[in-house]
Homo-oligomer: A and B are copies of this chain.
Amino acid sequence: MRIIICGFGVVGQSLAKLIESRSEDLYARYGIKARIVGVADSGGSATDPSGLDPERLVAAKKAGSVRGYPGAGGGLTGGELIEGLDADVMIETTVSDYTNAEPGTAHITGAMGRGMHVISVNKGPLALSFPSLTELAEYNRVMLRFSGTVGGGTPILDFAKKSLRGERITSFAGILNGTTNYILTGMAGGSSYEEALADAKGRGYVERNEALDLDGLDAAAKLVILANWVMGMKVTLGDVDRTGIRNVDTGDIREAAAAGSAVKLVATCDGGLRVAPERIPVGDPLCVDGTLNAVAFTSEHSGTQTIIGRGAGGIETASSIIRDLLDIRAGMARE
């Protein structure tokens, strides 16, 4: 299985290491022989149709860019790499952007056009054009997978789609952004908004563009992905009624606590789509603290089920990509 990786940050590097460390297991248990044939980052590229060495890739990146990979480095962009290199799967890990979702969208549509299956952990393209990307995948008869976009290593999408098969999910609500949940948890513990935000920044939890977290964009993007994938809705980011946490004050939090509740940034799909600070009773399974994510799915005959896990982390997200690779491998075998 020949793989192109676009973007080589924490997730891309974790993935390369995981492919290396699990290569025997992946081959023995699933018949997958994963070979990274090309990687592009913002500084350039590395290509080798016979397979790049994950350790050397990471070493080159640490020194600046994969372009420094000994003997195989070059100046190609992700788009050029996809255009010129044969591969089975393109894995899109560049930074999520919600204005035009580039270069992620171009990478995805380019790869699909060349018959590659796509795994995206970049939420931007999915948030802005989920319905058209799934149509394009169908048209090109390739698979589009994105387990890592919601819940990191926690298989939330998969749970809703597979474990609840045979059921009609009627609504769901989730805490989908660990950063804002960490800030709100800090405020519940007595910190001011500014203190809690500074604490979260100090721990590296806040996106460089802090609006993605604080204005609920990240949560809204995940809500859009869930609504499309789980509920079969055809919606994009513009369809979400969105309020962030900037106006939550300690008074709100104290009042909620006195009423046995906590203020959380909740993403809800119950016909409409909205992201807003809401009170949740502390005994509710959805009421998780710290950086945890949680989603409660309500279905017609099985009641409400909640799934909880850490929402981020390079190695966890990389392991979700491995699950997507297994899915794609199984799909290729059926063809």
Query: A: which residues have CB within 8 A of B?
Result: 18, 30, 153-155, 158-159, 162-167, 283, 285, 288-290, 292, 294, 301-310, 313, 315-316, 318-320, 322-323, 326
Asked whether A308 and B305 contact (CB < 8 A) given A285-B288, A285-B292, the answer is yes
Whether B310 lies near A307 (C-beta < 8 A) is no
Nearest Cβ distance between residue A165 and chain B, in whole angstroms? Answer: 6
A162 — which chain B residues lie within 8 A by C-beta?
A: 158, 162-163
In the bound assembly, the distance between CA atoms of A301 and B18 in angstroms comes to 9
Closest to A286 in B: B308
In the bound assembly, the distance between CA atoms of A308 and B289 in angstroms comes to 16
In the bound assembly, the distance between CA atoms of A309 and B283 in angstroms comes to 13
Asked whether A155 and B301 contact (CB < 8 A) given A285-B292, A323-B166, the answer is no
Whether A319 lies near B18 (C-beta < 8 A) is no
Integer count of this chain's copies in the complex: 2
Closest to A26 in B: B166
In the bound assembly, the distance between CA atoms of A165 and B155 in angstroms comes to 10
Asked whether A153 and B306 contact (CB < 8 A) given A166-B322, A167-B319, A326-B166, the answer is no
A167 — which chain B residues lie within 8 A by C-beta?
A: 319, 323
A166 — which chain B residues lie within 8 A by C-beta?
A: 30, 319, 322-323, 326
Asked whether A309 and B304 contact (CB < 8 A) given A159-B159, A163-B155, the answer is yes
In the bound assembly, the distance between CA atoms of A285 and B18 in angstroms comes to 28
Nearest Cβ distance between residue A47 and chain B, in whole angstroms? Answer: 27
**A153-B302, A159-B163, A285-B288 are known contacts; what are 8 more A-B pairs with Cβ within 8 Å?**
A155-B163, A158-B162, A166-B319, A285-B285, A285-B294, A285-B308, A301-B319, A304-B309
A163, A289, A303, A319: residue with the most chain B Cβ atoms closer than 10 Å: A163
Give 21 A-B contacts (CB < 8 Å), ordered by A residue.
A18-B301, A153-B301, A153-B302, A153-B303, A155-B305, A158-B162, A158-B163, A159-B163, A162-B162, A163-B163, A165-B323, A167-B323, A283-B289, A283-B290, A285-B292, A303-B309, A303-B310, A305-B307, A305-B308, A307-B308, A308-B308
A30, A304, A308: residue with the most chain B Cβ atoms closer than 10 Å: A308
Closest 3 CB pairs of A and B: A153-B302, A301-B319, A155-B163
A292 — which chain B residues lie within 8 A by C-beta?
A: 285
Nearest Cβ distance between residue A260 and chain B, in whole angstroms? Answer: 12
Whether A154 lies near B305 (C-beta < 8 A) is yes
In the bound assembly, the distance between CA atoms of A164 and B307 in angstroms comes to 13
Whether B288 lies near A315 (C-beta < 8 A) is no
Closest to A326 in B: B166
